[in-house]
Amino acid sequence: MRERRRERRFMCADLVKIQIHTDGEPHTETVANLEDISPSGACLQLEVAVRKGADIDIVCSRCRLKGKVKYCRFVETGYDVGVCFQESESWSRERFEPKHLLDVPV
């Protein structure tokens, strides 16, 4: 798969609370596994599918990362959900450092 992010991706493993907002419906709240993260986006693994284009909040210990679902694909263990962060709400290690963060040089 071709890399689409401009900046480096950090592999990680951490459980995070997420809120999914779709078309004015009350938001759905669940837990997801944070698989990787960069300043512009993240990949989550969920047990349920999420509609492309849905607004999503990743609720971390000290911050809330807001974004849009860019893709959702079925994998053997559930669904991989790609999230593109809103520019003003982008991630940094100072805002939130996931557990088991792995900085792999490319």
pLDDT averaged over every residue in the chain:
86
Fill in the amino acid letter for 5.
R
| pLDDT value at 1 more than 50 | no
- What is the residue extent of each domain of the chain? 10-85
Hey, is 89 helix, strand or coil?
A: helix
pLDDT tens readout for residues 61-82 = 788 999 999 999 999 999 999 9
Q: Looking at the predicted structure, is the pLDDT value of residue 100 above 80? A: no
Q: Are 105 and 10 in contact (CB under 8 A)?
A: no
Q: For 10-85, CATH number?
A: 2.40.10.220
Residue 54 CA to residue 71 CA, distance in Å, equals 10
Alpha helices in 1-106 (DSSP H): none
Over pLDDT 70: what percentage of the chain? 90
Place of tokens 């607004």: 55
